[in-house]
Structure 1
């Protein structure tokens, strides 16, 4: 039987913050001498390199939806655990945290949940909310990205938790700050409801009246692409707003932009925002739950926040930023400090210390 110190469970279904974090943490722990595995369900599309000494186990799920899909995940995971074992399992998705908690009762491993989204989301109002209230106090621990997410839970969960933010994988001197910014507003993310790009598109259609030389480019792909294109065309913005497919050299594409915007309805610790700040791009974010952007941005100092899902506030803040290019250069310069406060080394050392502490308790 193959044995691991730590096993991460989740879904590798393309570019995304949770996928990136799971892979990067797995790689970092393996470099630091731990035996590491990733178990991915449904899909195995790794958008980032996984080191050779990190084992990847793919569990293909045939059921399309509903309770059958849940039972299939449970049964196939149980079958895998008859062949491999791990002292610690860290789940990056809620449903998998519940499944692996139940499996921990049989296979005797420690189970942790890494919260990557918004604990106040409406998905927790029904059965999921009941399951969370029942199971979470019985789990071994939790990793939160923000204080806001941690504060959503009772003391029984908080006392077993730790806050580890996402790191920035950009070093301070990796990219030279431009002396002349392009007349481009940029955004990055999956084209989904959560990312709220329709709000940005509508707001930008108002902003261009005052700033006719500025264009909007959104890098991403997803289920809402056609809907967003219809919105762009209906506003007569097809020559001013571009939906651009994801590119490998994204940082070089966006680093000279005038403003980066994150309009999301909710985010954990948003990688796209952190990366834009690390590049020195003046950044504007929704002040969305559970509070990740507000923990990164000091209003007017290293970025700007607008009221969540508020089109008028977005318009006002974006117009202000575009009208103050010299002030924005200073804002972008200050934002680059995130390369130091959230460096890969600092964050991965926190992950390593956390996992080693749990392993010592087992030994």
Structure 2
């Protein structure tokens, strides 16, 4: 089977990384895989398997990519087309529609739709979010949601019906993740630990709730002498640093920036905290669990409740509740009976191979 996976580029976002990993995993099943970038480039190019054919359409912008994508599809004749992210799904829909190929198209939603549609103020992106639910409802194949919560959000907040949605896991982990040997961390607080270290990971953007995490850490510091490291970069760096300084936490909170191997850092931490306001299926939480680190998460839409088995695996707290988050962090740090084997068992479904099999089955057993 020839599979074309369509994404805008291979920059450092979670969706881009997951589509790259999925392309690698599907190619191991002896299928021909083209990873088609509507534009070009991105930091994840170096991680692409030699078994995957990279196609860069080099469109000036995603919205103008329909003609080039149509030309690629017509010339290369893939058996199945998988697209990811709402605006890319709309582009792929019109390209496939023009060829009479809707039966070959599978669209993937990566985030809580009702929240995500408010993030980008571009008129074209907003129009794509308006169109997408009507497209999903009209397509012969169901839209792929990365968690049950993402699917339910689509059903409850748009015209998408239950029959229009299936849930498939992200290829977050290597197949041998249980055997991984972790390298030494690069951050000095983790390399030479003198007190407990809590870590967060993600873009410095409002969605990730790092302001709440910093506030919770300030409360925690009243009873536990600890440190907080946030790995990631983004537009909120200056405002978050100002908050840190105003709370007199400058010596114990570090906005470290991007790190090339976050799992190595997290493995040496005492606690990982996901403080997000919304997600789709948080890869950082799964990776932290695979890193054999204690975890605490907000019960944000969507994903953490599924990943943490409604709190049976790791603590869940309400969104934007620094006091409750601080209490959960304190309880987890003091828990000497933490069950890491149970934690690993609950993330087995997120291996690259399990994800690839799920996607391939969905393509083979499509409704059309």
TM-score, normalised to structure 1, is 0.85
CA contact (8 A) 2:10 2:17 kept: no
- The equivalent of 1:66 in structure 2 is none
Q: Given the alignment of the two structures, is residue 321 of structure 1 paired with residue 332 of structure 2, yes or no?
A: yes
- The equivalent of 1:159 in structure 2 is 163
Deviations 1:65-123 (A, max 9, x none): xxxx62x2223333444543322221111011112111112123222211110122162
Selected match of 2:363 from 322, 341, 355: 355
- The equivalent of 1:204 in structure 2 is 217
Deviations 1:224-265 (A, max 9, x none): 222222222222212111111332332222112111001111
SS of residue matched to 1:117: coil
SS of residue matched to 1:326: coil
> Which whole-Å CA distance do the structure 1 matches of 2:298 and 2:206 have between them?
14
CA contact (8 A) 1:303 1:332 kept: no
Q: Please, which runs of 5 or more residues in structure 2 have no aligned partner?
A: 120-125, 183-192
> Which whole-Å CA distance do the structure 2 matches of 1:75 and 1:223 have between them?
33
Q: CA deviation at 1:156?
A: 5.9
Question: 1:121-136 alignment to 2 at 5 Å?
Answer: 121=115, 123=117, 127-136=127-136
- The equivalent of 2:276 in structure 1 is 264
SS of residue matched to 2:89: helix
CA contact (8 A) 2:112 2:280 kept: yes
- The equivalent of 1:279 in structure 2 is 291
Deviations 1:201-246 (A, max 9, x none): 122122112112x100111112222222222222221211111133
Change (3 A) 1:219 1:26: same
Selected match of 1:346 from 351, 354, 359: 354
- The equivalent of 1:172 in structure 2 is 178
> Which whole-Å CA distance do the structure 2 matches of 1:345 and 1:152 have between them?
27
> Which whole-Å CA distance do the structure 1 matches of 2:3 and 2:100 have between them?
13
> Which whole-Å CA distance do the structure 2 matches of 1:339 and 1:148 have between them?
17
Q: Given the alignment of the two structures, is residue 147 of structure 1 paired with residue 148 of structure 2, yes or no?
A: yes
Selected match of 1:53 from 29, 51, 55: 51
CA contact (8 A) 1:5 1:88 kept: yes
> Which whole-Å CA distance do the structure 1 matches of 2:30 and 2:65 have between them?
30
SS of residue matched to 1:86: coil
- The equivalent of 1:9 in structure 2 is 6
> Which whole-Å CA distance do the structure 2 matches of 1:260 and 1:158 have between them?
34
Change (3 A) 1:223 1:59: farther
- The equivalent of 1:24 in structure 2 is 21
Question: 1:183-198 alignment to 2 at 5 Å?
Answer: 183-198=196-211
Change (3 A) 1:239 1:144: same
- The equivalent of 1:97 in structure 2 is 89
TM-score, normalised to structure 2, is 0.84
Question: 1:57-72 alignment to 2 at 5 Å?
Answer: 57-62=55-60, 70=63, 72=64
Task: Show structure 1 runs of 4+ deviating over 6 A.
Answer: none
Query: Aligned pair count?
Result: 344
CA RMSD of aligned residues (A): 2.7
> Which whole-Å CA distance do the structure 1 matches of 2:43 and 2:9 have between them?
6
CA contact (8 A) 2:89 2:132 kept: no
More strand by share: 1
CA contact (8 A) 1:298 1:304 kept: no
Q: Please, which runs of 5 or more residues in structure 1 have no aligned partner?
A: 64-68
> Which whole-Å CA distance do the structure 2 matches of 1:141 and 1:103 have between them?
18
SS of residue matched to 2:179: coil
CA contact (8 A) 1:12 1:46 kept: no
Change (3 A) 1:316 1:231: same
- The equivalent of 1:33 in structure 2 is 30
> Which whole-Å CA distance do the structure 2 matches of 1:343 and 1:123 have between them?
29
Change (3 A) 1:79 1:14: same
> Which whole-Å CA distance do the structure 2 matches of 1:77 and 1:342 have between them?
30
Change (3 A) 1:221 1:136: same
- The equivalent of 2:138 in structure 1 is 138
